[in-house]
Amino acid sequence: MKTSRFARWLKDEREENRLLFHSVPAVFVALFVVAEIGMNLLANKAIVSLSTKDGLQWFGLDAGILLSWLAFLCMDVLTKRFGAKAADKVSLFAILCNVLFALLLFAVSYLPDTADYSALDSVFRGTPAILLASVIASLASAFLNNGLNALLGRAFKDRPDSRGAFFVRLFVSTFVGQILDNFLFSVLAYRFFLELGWWGDKAWMWSYLACFTSALTGALVELLSEVLFAPLGYRVSRQWEKEGVGKEYLDFVAKRKEEEKR
């Protein structure tokens, strides 16, 4: 009995995923997951909020900015070594871990206790609207960042592994991806969901100008962090190549592409 094309594709996908998560160093994946979870928790706190004399908010930043650069650095290193598709899959895994952890904290906050943990419970419960905005923004920006990084890599055919090529790919994709991430999150969390009454007070609502300026300024701040830590990301990427990290996965992907062309 012949195997259907879909069944064969599903089998190959399972094997590809197995090899991918077997190949990416566990410490690296753990760091990525921690960055995603940390961003979600910190995003509940606004650290900067500026308004005009008329009360029109024109700029704001939340504490998630302190860790978002790390998630993007992880994605860029993954894309360089494993490709955009692999980076998308690991990004999706990290985001799902973030959602599961948030749900776990939410459930724990309702467990019976023998003391007053109301302050801690309020932190554990978070805000579902904030989580949803974070997930949507993270997914969209991850796919854009990884795809753009891979696309830019094709422009460096002569020196694809050079330091300059790595930095250009990282800085451009991060800046564009961070703008989308920040803007989507701000519009959803501090505008759209507030208007729907899903959380908070409408007095907290950001203007679209605030969403845009926050997205742009936040991207610049996060880009600066990327500039500072880019050499470390480059060293990790080169070390993976020297040690042959992911070779089994890359060979399987190359073989699969050849078979699909036939």
* Cβ contacts of 57-60, under 8 Å, gap ≥ 24: 57/205, 57/206, 57/207, 57/210, 58/207, 58/209, 58/210, 58/213, 59/210, 59/213, 59/214, 59/217, 60/186, 60/190, 60/206, 60/210, 60/214
pLDDT-derived band at 57 (thresholds 50, 70, 90) equals low
Q: What is the pLDDT of residues 88-139, one digit of tens each?
A: 999 999 999 999 999 998 899 888 888 888 888 887 777 788 889 989 999 9
Q: Looking at domain 25-245, which CATH architecture does it have?
A: Orthogonal Bundle (1.10)
pLDDT of 2 over the 60 cut: no
pLDDT in tens, 3-37: 688 888 899 999 999 999 999 999 999 999 999 99
**Residue percentage of the chain with pLDDT more than 70:** 95
Q: pLDDT over 90 for what percent of the chain? A: 53
Q: What is the pTM of this model?
A: 0.90
Residue 208: what pLDDT?
86
**Mean pLDDT of the chain, nearest integer:** 88
Per-domain residue ranges of the chain: 25-245
Phi/psi of residue 4, each to 5°?
Answer: -65, 160
